[in-house]
Amino acid sequence: MTTHIARPITAAVLKELRTADDAGRPMAPLTDTEGGAPLRCCLRHSGPGERIALVSYAPLRRWAAETGADPGAYDEQGPVFVHAEECPGPDGGALPFINSHRTLRRYSADGRILGGRLVADADAFPPALADAFDDPEVALVHVRAVEYGCFLYEVRRS
């Protein structure tokens, strides 16, 4: 079975987002008093007292710019939480944020949505991700939260 790796937002992109996000707005840091925000920089939940920011991020647009794809109307931007300052990134290991309902949204190499799948429990997540990549047309998968449809991270074909 192939190992799939969650890809956080890269350090270079985070540096840009901390200056101006993908909607052109400056970052507005805050202190997270409760914790629990899904951080896309280090792929873990925030802890109480951490300095974070909610920024607008366009993951498919950035991937398309890297690969030459044209996602057309599938290009979108949405809110993501990041640390307000640099962080060491993920500590590796298991796929993050799979402990509740998640959607796997599949994309082709030209940036078109090929379909999606709701995954209801953590044990079903790795096989569902493997199934997504069994389709040779799938170039990458976005993992999204069901509650708000927010982008959590991407997994690319290895």
- Per-residue pLDDT tens digits for 102-147: 999 999 999 999 999 999 989 999 999 999 999 999 999 999 998 8
The pTM assigned to this predicted structure is 0.91
Mapped onto helix, strand or coil, the DSSP state of residue 110 is coil
37 pLDDT band, cuts 50/70/90, is very high
* pLDDT tens, position by position, 78-99: 999 999 999 999 987 788 998 8
Coil vs helix vs strand at 69:
coil
Choose among 27, 53, 29, 31: nearest CA to 40: 53
Among 130, 10, 3, smallest CA distance to 65 is for 10
Under 8 Å CB-to-CB from 121, ≥6 apart: which residues?
Answer: none
Strands 44-45 and 38-39: antiparallel
Residue 20 has pLDDT above 90, yes or no: yes
The arithmetic mean of pLDDT across residues 17-44, rounded, is 97
pLDDT of residue 2: 62
Overall average pLDDT of the 35-44 stretch: 96
pLDDT tens digits along 94-107: 889 988 889 999 99
pLDDT at 100: 81
The pLDDT value recorded for residue 17 is: 97
| Residue 1: pLDDT over 60 | no
% of the chain beyond a pLDDT of 70: 98
Q: Under a CB-based contact definition with an 8 Å cutoff, are residues 51 and 41 in contact?
A: no
